[in-house]
Amino acid sequence: MASNEYSALRRVPIFACLDDDSLSQVAAVATEFEAPAGQVLAELGHPGLGVFVIEEGTVRVEPPGEEPVELGPGEFFGELAVLAETPRTARVSASSPVSGIAIRRADIEQLINREVTIAAAMLREVAQRLVDLRHG
């Protein structure tokens, strides 16, 4: 990822507090992705190969037995299969043209271990999603 992309990474809350050095570590392992509306980005029950961070557009998350959830710019998905070492817990598909970055499983695990601000921001967001599930 080119260094002029760092400004896009800085707008993502889980990366916002990183210094230039740490941000360059993220950029080094990030792959840009683009998907048209309707494309499935994560399939329920499939192995989780990594985490996605949305920069533009929206996705629809369909956890079985729960209301669908819409995620947009600055938000991430795909962390549960990585962190809980489980298959994908929901189907996630683009609900508009969407673009962002993908980070492979081994790389996001390493970033989480090295960068406490990434780990803390992800933990806060996952906790918030649990609260939203319980209290709508």
Q: Which residues of this chain interact with ligand CMP, rule CB under 6 A?
A: 42, 48, 61, 63, 66, 69, 77-81, 88-90, 92, 129, 133
Q: Do the beta carbons of residue 35 and residue 98 sit within 8 Å?
A: yes
**Gap between the Cα atoms of 2 and 106, Å rounded:** 21
The least distance separating ligand CMP from the CB of residue 27, rounded to whole angstroms, comes to 22
CB atoms within 10 A of CB 133: 12
Nearer to ligand CMP, 16 or 69 (CB): 69
The least distance separating ligand CMP from the CB of residue 85, rounded to whole angstroms, comes to 10
Give the CB-nearest residue to ligand CMP: 81
Nearer to ligand CMP, 3 or 66 (CB): 66
Running DSSP on this structure, what letter comes out for residue 60? E
- Tell me the two tokens of residue 28: 């080094």
